[in-house]
Chain A
Amino acid sequence: MKMTRKEFLKLTGAGLVLVFGGQELAALDRMAQAPGPNGAKPQRRKQWAMIVDTRKCAKDRGCTSCMEACDWAHNIPDIPDNAHQIKWVWNEPVDKVFNDYDVRYMEESQRTEPIPVMCNHCDSPPCVRVCPTGATWKRPEDGIVMMDWHRCIGCRYCMAACPYGARSFNWVDPRPYIKKLNPDFPTRTKGVVEKCCFCDERLAVGKAPACVEACPEKAMMFGDVNDPKSEIREVLAKNYVLRRRPELGTGPNIYYLI
């Protein structure tokens, strides 16, 4: 049989696709059926999220209940030097939080209204992508952006990557600056990065995050946005909400009712 060069190449190409293409498809199929971590069956993935109702929050301008609850629950130090401060949840004025929205002509009192900000537990967290040691990762079962302080080497790549400034670095030993030690939660050591963990330790025992529980106005709501029947989804369905810098594509999971 005589074959032209063109025919030979066509046939070879088709053969390669048949052989290796089949293998790739089989591999994809295996991946889809693979069990989750620890051999567990793949579960419906949760995504914890929070709604901050700024209208309720605004009722008491000087209120710091959520921050105090968080500080105690997680042994967060109160370091007087601004450059060394550790923040998990803190207040920022509206025009700083939503600096990419047009709030120029908003009434002064509204524009400077302090509202709580924290880690957004993004769908696609840039901090996780840059961490060289895997000390921070997005937990597959519930979408919390976790931190393993045992593994953090303090390179601060994650701090550079986070567009929300949600991460703090321990420049000094935080122990002497902790007002009241909570023995149930570890402190951190000098040289590691930390941030809000959505109270994973409280969720593990079926409690809501400390800030949600502490808010006297019930301005914070916590729930699973992947569950269409959840209370949080009902609120999201009926209200217009803002997220911080959604244009970056990080997919933040803290929603603000304005």
Chain B
Amino acid sequence: MREKLWIYGGLLLFLVGVTFPVWRDAITHATTQPPALEMPANQKQCVAPTDYMLTSHMKLLMDWRTSAVRDNNWKYTSFNGKVYQKRFSGTCLQCHSKAKFCDRCHTYVGARTPYCWNCHVDPALVKGATP
């Protein structure tokens, strides 16, 4: 049994490696709770029900983009009859903040940062910019 040290040492290393994510999270106080949904102060209801927005906001954004840019159709009538302008910065980002809303959840679920931001301007970047 001269290999005892190697066998038990190896097993221990293996266990430590396998359980690494668990105790790393314990040490860093990571939580499995999703980030709390930050509600905008000035609005109670989004352009669609929360459940739908949670799962399908990307589809809605794509539909808005296509119909507004290509079909010159800028008005969106929501499920409760309210009419919105199909604008990303002008409508969505008036309530939601990129850093506190979009990015936080995308980071949590490990979703790639979409390329919207390559062109569309985060209004938080332009404080006090008026013509």
Contacts and interface: CB of A to CB of B under 8 A. Distances in A.
Nearest to B88: A186
B41 interface: no
Interface in A131-190: 139, 141, 146, 148-150, 180-189
A240 B126 CA distance: 45
Contacts of B93: 183
Contact of B121 (A72, A146, A182, A189): A182
Contact of A181 (B69, B70, B90, B121): B121
Contact of B126 (A73, A148, A183, A204): A183
Nearest to A214: B131
Contacts, number: 50
Given A75-B121, A149-B119, A150-B65, A184 B71 contact: no
Given A72-B131, A150-B65, A183 B74 contact: no
A141 B93 CA distance: 30
B87 interface: yes
A37 B71 contact: yes
A176 to B, nearest CB: 12
B73 interface: yes
A72 B120 CA distance: 15
B26 interface: no
B69 A141 contact: no
Highest count of chain A CB atoms <10 Å: which of B69, B70, B119, B126: B119
Contacts of A37: 71
Interface of A: 37-38, 72-73, 75, 139, 141, 146, 148-150, 180-189, 200, 204
A150 B120 contact: no
What range describes how many residues of B lie at the interface? 20 to 34
Given A72-B131, A75-B121, A187-B119, A204 B74 contact: yes
Contacts of B71: 37-38
Given A181-B121, A183-B89, 15 more contacts: A37-B71, A38-B71, A73-B131, A149-B119, A182-B129, A183-B123, A183-B126, A183-B129, A184-B89, A186-B120, A186-B121, A188-B119, A189-B119, A204-B72, A204-B74
B69 A183 contact: no
A183 B93 CA distance: 10
Contact of A150 (B69, B123, B125): B69
B97 to A, nearest CB: 13
Interface in B16-49: none
A184 B123 CA distance: 8
7 contacts: A38-B73, A182-B126, A183-B121, A183-B126, A184-B90, A186-B121, A189-B115
Contacts of A72: 131
Interface in B37-88: 65, 69-74, 87-88
A136 B93 CA distance: 27
Highest count of chain B CB atoms <10 Å: which of A73, A184, A189: A184
